[in-house]
Structure 1
Amino acid sequence: MIKLKYILALLALFFVLHAEAQNRQDSVQITESDQAATSTDTLLKKVERMHTSLNRINNVSERGFDTRDIEKNLPQIQENLAIIQENLSQYSSVQNARNLQLYSVLVSDMQAQMNDWRTALFAYNRQVISMNEQIRSFVDDSMIQHIRKDTLFFHLYQSELSDIKSKWEKAIRSTASDLDKITKLQASVSNTYFASIELKNTIRRQIKKSQTETFGQEYPFIWEKEQANAAASVDQAKVYEGQRKIVRYYFQRNGSDWWWFLIIGLMFFGWVANNFRAVKKAGGLSIAEQPELTYVSAFPLAAASVVVFNIAPFFDLNPPSVYVNMMQFLLLIGLSFVLWRSWQRKFFWYWLAIVAFYLFFAFSNVVTHISPAYRWLLLAVNAGCVVFGLSLLRLLRTELAMKGFTKTVTGIFIVLNIAAIVANIAGRVSMAKVMSIAGIFGLSQVIGLSVFIHLIDEAFYLQMVKSRLKDGKNIRFNYGKIQDRLNKILSFVAVIAWVIIFASNLNAYNQLYKKLYFFLNKPYEVGSVSFTAGHILLFFVVLYISNLLQQYLGYFLGETEDDFGSETNKKNSRLAIVKLVLLLGGFLLAMTASGLPVDKLTVVLGAVGVGVGLGLQNIVNNLVSGVILIFEKPLQLGDYIELGDKKGKVKTIGIRASKMLTSEGAEVIVPNGDLISNRLTNWTLSNEHIRTVLTYKLQPIAQLEEAKQCILDVLANTERVMQQLPAEILITNINDTSVELSVRFWLTNLNQEHEVKSEVLVNVYNALKSRGINLL
């Protein structure tokens, strides 16, 4: 019995162990199956990632890296640098300060261009290296090694793997080619860049040397025998050829400037020509033909060229001498056409003499071989300029703008020519040439700027004439009110422009600009607030311009000096909104331009709030009331209002106060706060109709009905009496001998009340008298 128990126990243990072993075997089989499945999925994902990466790399290589601009323009830059280097090394004795400044600017521009290229090439290089490293990483990837050993997987996906292999080989070749190309371009650009740095240093040394030699004696005294000099042996043709290539590159670099010249010229031409056409069409030639229009014409081609070439020098203050001479010559041509039509012949011959002097000095400025004959000729022309300048001072045209400044410039012209004579005699020919060209440039430029002021002045005048032509009638306006201010502003700008151009011709602009730039941008600190003189200046300039615009904008958009009886376009009320926007926008822009941080602006606004609380309540009240008037519109320009004991027509609605024109011609300035807080009667809020009353006392009483009908007939035939609202004739007093009548009727325009009443009185009197009815 015991043995049977042991046997059963052993059998049970055997089955348990067997079941456990079977479970373990099944578990191992399941795990190996999962691992196989996982390995296949991983390989497929790896193949997919490789396929995507190689496609991306090959697509980038096929598109290529954008180096066309570098490949196209780098040889040109290298050629220009070589030309500049040749001019400096072989023809340094004939290089003037303006050309050296130009070389410095051009080399700086080339360096900036090459810096951009180097940045782009470094980025391309990093991208190619990254792609190359990614391709190489596929070789060392353990998964790729596993794919090679797994024959079953390789057999199943043979076509996909072959495609990946071909793309991988293509990527290897293309990235290697791209890397080689980019590396060579990098080397070429870097070498050229470093060469430009050396050239820039050479130019800097030449400029310092030129500044020193300009004040030194280059040649013997004019009466002494001249020794052979380096400039005499210079090949003129090669010098001019080098200059021509540099100027060609300059034109290519600044080609967009000419588009701007064309746009500005067309805008001015179209503006003036269109205004002339509009004035002529509206029958306003009686105004447009007044003496105010002397320089502009109906076809202002020459005037447009004068405007364009007066502002052209400010597009680049370091151009080559040939470019400067060409631009000035084009300006002189335009001025000659304008002055031929505008000036008397005696003064025009003086202008032609200025043109002749300019042409001589312009050509002499490019002469490199300084012979004794040239020096004597230069001395004679300088002496002629002195005599001419003295004569010009006596006969200076009084009509020129900036008359006082023109006299000053003429005096400078005389002094510079005297100094040029002295410098030439002393052997300082370069200094004599600089002074001569600066003098004639300054004189011709001040005349050009004076004509420029006249052109802008007359163009604005024509705009005001055009904007005031209504229904073919000329509206009266006072142009002199803004002409003085406009001329002062334009004259100030012209003087600044002349000083800049004059300093540029004297080769002193760069030094002047550096000092002014340092002064305007030097930081100053008051407590914790930091500011610069430039920011403060810009703050006041922006405020001044915004105030100027809002003050005179209406004059150029049709605002008139209306009398009491004239009609006013109520659309002009929108000008008040524009003025408010200009003031607020100008203030905000000025605060931004001041450079003050926001927290400091908060302090300023807080101080303003304290000021308001202490004593500016009335001013702020009027300002706020002005805003309310603009948007709520209880009255508009031209409305007939009654405020207290004052009646009149609204002439202007300002930001702080408004103007009311009474029937007596007085202008009453009313604070906007009074218009809002006091009782205001607006007779023309909805329309301009008004009912008026005439009183008649007539006899005999027997003809009363005939008299009424007669009065009604007169009113029916009066044009400015409203017929839609019938007139009323009421008896206010009657007796045996006479009767008093009150005639009430409506007028279409209250501004014409007195005129219509006068007309009706006369017509009624004549009509009643013809019927034998007497007025008492």
Structure 2
Amino acid sequence: MGPIICAMLRLSLVIQLSLFFYTVHAQKADSVERSTDSVSILDSLPSNPLASARNFLEQWREQVDRYYTGLDSVKRGVAWQRPDDGRLVPSQVQQYISLVKPAVHDLQGKVTVLRKQTVPQDSTANSWRAVQDSAATLERDIESLLLDMQDLGDKAEQQQNVTQAAQEGTFWYHWKSIIQKNLEQDGLSQRYYDSAWDGRFLLILLSLIYFYWLYQMRRRAIGAEETLPLHRNQPWWIPVLKFAIFFLILLPLTSLRIPVIVLELSYLLIFGFLYLLIRSELSNQHLKMMQYVFFYYLLVLASNLVLDTGWMLRIIVMLINLSGICLLWHLGRKVDGKIPFDYLRPFSRWLLLIISMAAIIFNLFGFLNLARTCSIAGAVGLLQAFSLHAFRDMLSHDLLNSYENSKEDRFINRFDKQKILAALRRIIGLFAGILVIIIWANTLHITSEIRRLGDRLLNNTHTIGGVNYTYGDVVLAFAVIWTANWIQKNLKDLLDQPDAKKNQRRTALLPLVRVVIFIVGFLIGIRILGLGVDKLTVIVGALSVGIGLGLQNIINNFVSGVILVFERPFKVGDYVELADKKGQVMQVGIRSSTLLTDQGAQVIIPNGDLLSGRLVNWTFEESDIRLNLQLTIVTARSIEEWKKWLEDTITSFKEIDRSLPMKILTKDITADAYVVSIQVGLQNVQQIEWFRSKFLEQVKAEAVFHDSKVTSA
């Protein structure tokens, strides 16, 4: 019955694909794509439909690339448009779009039909899913192409309206057309708010979490009758401003295509919010600098909003750009590194200077579209440089405040403050780099080019042997393995609690869990690269001989560590003895364990020796931590007085565990000395060295005071 059903499914698939390719072949070919559709696609269908589908996808991909090449050529013509081309270029754009757009819609229908085909449940199922994934990617590229054509057509239409208004001679209608044309170039009619809402909802959720964190910090600080260190006497609206800044700074991450007008208004609000946030902490010089930058930004936006072919406006815009160059040159002199509004890094400053000078040159030679693009990009880039620096400092201050206002048992106190700050700065730097690329790509109107370049770099398939991979897969696999390695390294900090006894119970299987996390992350990374488990098994089998011969001691210690984790013949804090080594267990690792001897030395012992050797555990049934000391006292003072003094001195230490009985006994005597044995419980194994040092120092001082001699062992 099974083979009959499989045969029927294959026959049904062939019939469906035959109808699909017949439909594609029967559609009327457009003049732009005749060269591609002239090849008959039905010839190879009966023998191998999967190969035919792949062949068509390759042809359609080449066709989309040709459409993009033509569109890039038209965009360059628009960008390098001069004032005397005001009538010719828009008409050429409209002619190109009317010719190509129907063909693109036709191609989109073909790709959609292929993407919706039923996947057969046989050995070719995975291959067909890969074909459908490629078709879905191609469909998204076609949608992006249509959006670019729509945007370009709207700009050409507004340019024609400006030319027509100039001919009619109506003053207000002419200026209205100019403003509409410039707003259209900034993406006023771009369909931004109809898409990417999933990313915006996630960003809103993250912003609300950040706001709640600030609110909790402020409430704890007020409850403790303190103020937050960053802003003295914070009013209630400070967290609201930070919430808005957090949301607006990260907003470009939700979509690759963002209208320039949205970026202009976003950074206008961000800069204003930052001014309100830290103005009380700035000097008059810094306040004036912020005001100059803000005024320059407003002038750039206003002048480029009404920029036209008239020389008067062009000269005004060039003077504003020249003032921006002077401002950037002044910002190259570092005044106070703690304030993010008085200094630009050399790379950022020189890049903005080049962009501003390019705006003046393009304006002077009549390339107004390029001049306007560079002018706005320079102004937005200036505010972005300041805002990202202030954003990094804001989050760093908030993290420090969280450390200062949190109790000792809070989760955040398990991590080292400086390491967390360094990690936060690296993460913010990574996201800042991504934001710079996204914002500059949108302000320079090269989003499609950047996206296609990234797609070619990350998604083109490469082959090594029989393994197919992409650079995107390599980056993702590296990120997964790095994340797994970071988690297993910091797992102890994530699980530790201030109570040492709870840590002993909670982290009993910690070494094995760390290994499992890394192995799982490594296998996921290998799978992302397209290397199947069967191929990995072959590689492991080939290396097993070398591993067995060259790394047998390491493998022995590793397996012994796993056995120790499950059998638990000792645990952290136990007092054990192995051959001539005696001490307390400080750490149980997956390859080796660490003992702290009575002399204060830390001894690393391979787990293989611990498992195979004769091990004595003096505290096997107890979870307590005890320190054993031996003092030889030569004195004329009564031994009972010494014991009383030793008991009082040990009790004065806060590190001791008072729930455990203290033992101070006379072990041996000689002709002129007493040998006293001391056993005391401690709260944490890490406190042994410190307690031993301070205690022996006090014993020595007491012996000198009473003219006695004391030696320890």
Same fold (TM over 0.5): yes
After the TM superposition, which of the residue ranges 241-250 and 635-644 deviates more from structure 2? 241-250
Give the residue type in structure 1 aligned to 2:365: A
Deviation per CA, 1:249-296: give whole Å up to 9, x if none.
Answer: 64354555554333111212333554566688799x89x9599x9x99
Deviation per CA, 1:55-77: give whole Å up to 9, x if none.
Answer: xxxxxxxxxxxxxxxxxxxxxxx
SS at the partner of 2:345?
Answer: helix
Report the CA distance shift for 1:727/1:507 in structure 2 as closer, same or farther (over 3 A).
Answer: closer
CA–CA distance in structure 2, aligned partners of residues 333 and 253 of structure 1: 28
Structure 1 residue 689, shift from structure 2 partner: 3.0
Larger radius of gyration: 1
CA–CA distance in structure 1, aligned partners of residues 559 and 341 of structure 2: 42
Residue equivalent to 2:210? 268
TM-score w.r.t. length of structure 2: 0.62
Residue equivalent to 2:676? 742
Note if 1:496 corresponds to 2:438. Answer: no
Note if 1:424 corresponds to 2:366. Answer: no
Residue equivalent to 1:31? none
Report the CA distance shift for 1:366/1:622 in structure 2 as closer, same or farther (over 3 A).
Answer: farther
Query: Aligned to 2:244, which of 286, 296, 305?
Result: 305
Deviation per CA, 1:207-257: give whole Å up to 9, x if none.
Answer: 9989xx9xxxx99xxxxxx99899947646877999999769643545555
SS at the partner of 2:676?
Answer: strand
Give the residue type in structure 2 aligned to 1:732: D
CA–CA distance in structure 2, aligned partners of residues 596 and 297 of structure 1: 55
Residue equivalent to 1:529? 467
Residue equivalent to 1:125? none
Query: Aligned to 1:573, which of 498, 501, 507?
Result: 507
Give the residue type in structure 1 aligned to 2:366: G
Give the residue type in structure 1 aligned to 2:462: Y
SS at the partner of 2:463?
Answer: strand
Alignment of 1:187-266 (within 5 A): 203=150, 206=153, 232=174, 235=177, 250-253=192-195, 258-266=200-208
Query: Aligned to 2:383, which of 428, 438, 444?
Result: 444
Alignment of 1:57-136 (within 5 A): none
Alignment of 1:527-606 (within 5 A): 527-552=465-490, 554=492, 569-570=503-504, 573=507, 576=511, 579-606=514-541
Query: Aligned to 1:507, which of 432, 442, 445?
Result: 445
Query: Aligned to 2:255, which of 309, 316, 336?
Result: 316
Structure 1 residue 383, shift from structure 2 partner: 0.2
CA contact (8 A) 2:576 2:616 kept: yes
SS at the partner of 1:394?
Answer: coil
SS at the partner of 1:595?
Answer: coil
CA contact (8 A) 1:468 1:558 kept: no
Residue equivalent to 2:265? 326
Give the residue type in structure 2 aligned to 1:333: G
SS at the partner of 1:742?
Answer: strand
CA–CA distance in structure 2, aligned partners of residues 352 and 254 of structure 1: 34
CA contact (8 A) 2:289 2:341 kept: no
Residue equivalent to 1:609? 544
Note if 1:688 corresponds to 2:621. Answer: no
CA–CA distance in structure 2, aligned partners of residues 241 and 627 of structure 1: 67
CA–CA distance in structure 2, aligned partners of residues 677 and 276 of structure 1: 57
CA contact (8 A) 1:652 1:658 kept: yes
Report the CA distance shift for 1:527/1:580 in structure 2 as closer, same or farther (over 3 A).
Answer: closer
Alignment of 1:177-192 (within 5 A): none
Give the residue type in structure 2 aligned to 1:335: L
Report the CA distance shift for 1:275/1:635 in structure 2 as closer, same or farther (over 3 A).
Answer: farther
Residue equivalent to 2:354? 415
Residue equivalent to 1:374? 313
CA contact (8 A) 2:300 2:376 kept: yes
Report the CA distance shift for 1:633/1:741 in structure 2 as closer, same or farther (over 3 A).
Answer: closer
Structure 1 residue 410, shift from structure 2 partner: 1.3
Give the residue type in structure 1 aligned to 2:212: G
Deviation per CA, 1:463-499: give whole Å up to 9, x if none.
Answer: 6667882599x98986445654553454244223312
Residue equivalent to 1:340? 279
Report the CA distance shift for 1:313/1:638 in structure 2 as closer, same or farther (over 3 A).
Answer: farther
After the TM superposition, which of the residue ranges 343-352 and 327-336 deviates more from structure 2? 343-352
CA–CA distance in structure 1, aligned partners of residues 415 and 293 of structure 2: 39
Structure 1 residue 592, shift from structure 2 partner: 2.4
Residue equivalent to 2:668? 732
SS at the partner of 2:331?
Answer: helix
Structure 1 residue 755, shift from structure 2 partner: 6.2
Give the residue type in structure 1 aligned to 2:356: N
CA contact (8 A) 2:200 2:254 kept: no
SS at the partner of 1:507?
Answer: coil
CA–CA distance in structure 1, aligned partners of residues 603 and 170 of structure 2: 80
Structure 1 residue 437, shift from structure 2 partner: 1.1
CA–CA distance in structure 2, aligned partners of residues 245 and 603 of structure 1: 55
SS at the partner of 2:469?
Answer: strand
CA contact (8 A) 1:282 1:469 kept: no
Report the CA distance shift for 1:200/1:721 in structure 2 as closer, same or farther (over 3 A).
Answer: closer
Deviation per CA, 1:663-696: give whole Å up to 9, x if none.
Answer: 8887766655555555666676621134544444
CA contact (8 A) 2:325 2:353 kept: yes
Q: Name which structure has the greater RCO, CA cutoff 8 Å, separation 6+.
A: 1
CA contact (8 A) 1:382 1:421 kept: yes
CA–CA distance in structure 2, aligned partners of residues 731 and 361 of structure 1: 89
CA–CA distance in structure 2, aligned partners of residues 509 and 707 of structure 1: 85
Report the CA distance shift for 1:420/1:609 in structure 2 as closer, same or farther (over 3 A).
Answer: same
CA contact (8 A) 2:658 2:681 kept: yes
Report the CA distance shift for 1:93/1:489 in structure 2 as closer, same or farther (over 3 A).
Answer: farther
CA–CA distance in structure 1, aligned partners of residues 642 and 145 of structure 2: 107
CA–CA distance in structure 2, aligned partners of residues 730 and 308 of structure 1: 71
Report the CA distance shift for 1:327/1:298 in structure 2 as closer, same or farther (over 3 A).
Answer: closer
Query: Aligned to 2:322, which of 361, 379, 383?
Result: 383
SS at the partner of 2:438?
Answer: helix
CA–CA distance in structure 2, aligned partners of residues 315 and 459 of structure 1: 24
Give the residue type in structure 2 aligned to 1:271: W
Alignment of 1:457-476 (within 5 A): 457-461=396-400, 469-470=408-409
CA–CA distance in structure 2, aligned partners of residues 587 and 393 of structure 1: 46
Structure 1 residue 500, shift from structure 2 partner: 2.9
Structure 1 residue 389, shift from structure 2 partner: 0.7
Deviation per CA, 1:702-721: give whole Å up to 9, x if none.
Answer: x78x7599579858976758
SS at the partner of 2:478?
Answer: helix
CA contact (8 A) 1:269 1:304 kept: yes
CA contact (8 A) 1:641 1:649 kept: yes
Report the CA distance shift for 1:454/1:774 in structure 2 as closer, same or farther (over 3 A).
Answer: closer
Report the CA distance shift for 1:482/1:343 in structure 2 as closer, same or farther (over 3 A).
Answer: same
CA contact (8 A) 1:731 1:739 kept: no
Report the CA distance shift for 1:400/1:759 in structure 2 as closer, same or farther (over 3 A).
Answer: same
Note if 1:354 corresponds to 2:272. Answer: no
CA–CA distance in structure 2, aligned partners of residues 401 and 613 of structure 1: 58
CA–CA distance in structure 1, aligned partners of residues 599 and 565 of structure 2: 27
Count of residue pairs brought into register by the alignment: 572
CA–CA distance in structure 1, aligned partners of residues 595 and 371 of structure 2: 65
Task: Give unpaired runs (5+ residues) of structure 2.
Answer: 1-85, 117-142
